[in-house]
């Protein structure tokens, strides 16, 4: 399967890295080796700031090699933003984005605040960090706060039942948006119809490639998971349980 693929795309959180934690040096070396012969795309529901804390530092401490970054594309906020490395400026540059209308964003913020204050959805009153994060092309609500410890987040809604109830309300009140459950406590709100699959398909169109040219690897390729859209549009996908399984796959591909 892999020899026919020009792009290998990875989800970040839960696939290349343990949630909210930096990728390991071993994973960094594997990604670099893979990028010698393939375009590597990293997509996440988080912002570019998340890439700057979770993904890029392990590479940049020794300086980016031009052969690596020319084959690396970053897609924050489910692919509604795209960053590519400018070799002349020696920095990551925003090269594309999907607009999110301000009036819809303000309406969404109001509804989210009402949900939080209602006391109906087991959202605690003492968040660690802000509940709502404006990610420019996406709004994200984290029920325990954006900075809550991952150990606490994992316990809050492991079966997604709490967030599914909130999702129903949001879909009813915000029909002009797409509502996606992600991570452990997060719900993302994007422009109507936008998913990770849309972000990946936009990239393929820009590169003049087809979905058959891409393999997508993610930990949430199941109904309701925020990686499932890639499977739904007919991309070849590999579901993993975490970074260790991802590493085993990459080792097999580059051997």
- Does residue 185 surpass a pLDDT of 70? yes
CATH number for position 128: 3.30.1240.20
Q: Do 245 and 135 belong to one domain?
A: no
Q: Which residue has the tokens 């990770």?
A: 196
Question: How many domains does one find in the chain?
Answer: 2
Looking at per-residue confidence, does 98 or 62 come out higher? 98
pLDDT given for residue 65 in this prediction: 82
The pTM score is 0.85
Could you say which of 136, 156, 191 is where a domain stops?
A: 191
Tell me which residue has tokens 């303000």.
106
Residue 162: its H or E element: helix 161-173
Based on the domain organization, do 242 and 163 belong to the same domain?
no
pLDDT tens by residue, 4-38 = 899 999 999 999 999 878 999 999 999 999 999 99
Tell me how far apart the terminal alpha carbons of the chain are, to the nearest angstrom: 14
Q: Assess whether 211 and 170 both reside in one domain.
A: no
Q: Which of 191, 214, 229 is the last residue of a domain?
A: 191
CB 74 within 8 A of CB 52: no
**CA 225, CA 215: separation in Å to the nearest integer?**
17
pLDDT at 255: 84
Q: Do 82 and 73 touch, CB atoms closer than 8 A?
A: yes
Tell me, yes or no, whether 91 and 117 share the same domain.
no
Residue whose pair of structure tokens reads 């590597």 in the numeric block: 40
Backbone φ, ψ for residue 11 (5° rounding) = -65, 155
Domain housing 52: 2-98+194-254
Q: Is the pLDDT of residue 78 over 80?
A: yes
Residues 40 and 80 both lie in one domain: yes
- Whether residue 189 has pLDDT greater than 90: yes
* CATH number of residue 241's parent domain: 3.40.50.1000
3-state secondary structure of 85: strand
Looking at the structure, tell me whether residues 78 and 199 fall in a common domain: yes
């Amino acid at each position: 399967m892999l020899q026919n693929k020009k792009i290998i795309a990875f989800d970040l959180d839960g696939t290349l890295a343990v949630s909210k934690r930096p990728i390991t040096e071993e994973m960094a070396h594997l990604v670099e080796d893979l990028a010698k012969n393939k375009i590597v795309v990293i997509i996440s529901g988080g912002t570019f700031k998340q890439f700057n804390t979770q993904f890029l530092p392990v590479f940049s401490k020794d300086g980016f090699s031009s052969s690596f970054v020319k084959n690396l594309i970053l897609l924050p906020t489910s692919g509604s933003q795209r960053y590519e490395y400018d070799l002349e400026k020696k920095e990551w540059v925003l090269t594309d984005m999907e607009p999110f209308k301000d009036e819809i964003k303000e309406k969404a913020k109001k509804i989210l605040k009402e949900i939080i204050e209602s006391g109906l959805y087991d959202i605690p009153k003492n968040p660690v960090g802000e509940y709502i994060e404006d990610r420019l092309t996406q709004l994200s609500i984290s029920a325990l706060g954006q900075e809550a410890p991952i150990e606490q987040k994992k316990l809050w809604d492991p079966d997604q039942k709490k967030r599914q109830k909130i999702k129903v309300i949001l879909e009813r009140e915000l029909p002009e948006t797409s509502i996606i459950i992600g991570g452990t406590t997060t719900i993302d709100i994007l422009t109507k119809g936008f998913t990770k699959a849309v972000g990946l398909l936009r990239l393929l169109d820009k590169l003049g490639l087809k979905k058959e040219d891409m393999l997508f690897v993610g930990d949430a390729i199941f109904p309701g998971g925020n990686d499932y859209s890639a499977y739904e549009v007919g991309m070849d996908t590999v579901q993993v349980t975490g970074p260790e399984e991802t590493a085993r796959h990459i080792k097999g591909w580059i051997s």
